[in-house]
Amino acid sequence: MNHILLVEDNVDNQMVIEDLFELDEIDGVLVTVSTAEDALRRVREVWPILILMDIGLPGMSGLEATRLLKQDEATRHIRIWALTAHAMKKVQQQALEAGCDDYLTKPICGADLVNRVNAFLANHGAKEAA
């Protein structure tokens, strides 16, 4: 089963994304944490194939957590998509520079997230089978 790790401190944003998984719109299991520190611990237990990473977090930022994960041989292969506010072009650029593979803009559009995650999972599955 594919695990997806959501790193998000805003409860409303957590709920929007959790609801999509509860509705079985996405063929994966969502694990939610609220801090980057928790994310770095949970990654090694859950081994997600995708991390949805908020940038503004209490304590360590999502950018710093992304840098650490991408520097680590064991975790650098894990895809990380930043969650950034719609207008924050500069933050999107910083996220890519920190090593994020892509980003989703907030407020989260449920249909867009479902489509992109499912396309990613389908592509990932095809590569595993090849």
Contact positions toward Mn ion, by CB under 5 A?
Answer: 9, 54, 56
Nearer to Mn ion, 91 or 114 (CB): 91
The distance of closest approach from Cβ of residue 56 to Mn ion in the complex, given in angstroms and rounded to an integer, is: 4
The distance of closest approach from Cβ of residue 57 to Mn ion in the complex, given in angstroms and rounded to an integer, is: 6
Nearer to Mn ion, 4 or 83 (CB): 83
Q: How far apart are CA 91 and CA 24, in angstroms?
A: 31
Nearer to Mn ion, 42 or 54 (CB): 54
The distance of closest approach from Cβ of residue 9 to Mn ion in the complex, given in angstroms and rounded to an integer, is: 4
> Looking at beta carbons, which residue is closest to Mn ion?
56
Nearest to 76, CA basis, from 99, 104, 102, 95: 99
The distance of closest approach from Cβ of residue 125 to Mn ion in the complex, given in angstroms and rounded to an integer, is: 30
Nearer to Mn ion, 31 or 57 (CB): 57
CB of 28 within 8 A of CB of 2?
yes
Rg, Å, the chain Cα set: 14
Residue 4 vs residues 53, 87, 89, 94, 121: alpha-carbon distances, Å: 11, 25, 25, 22, 10
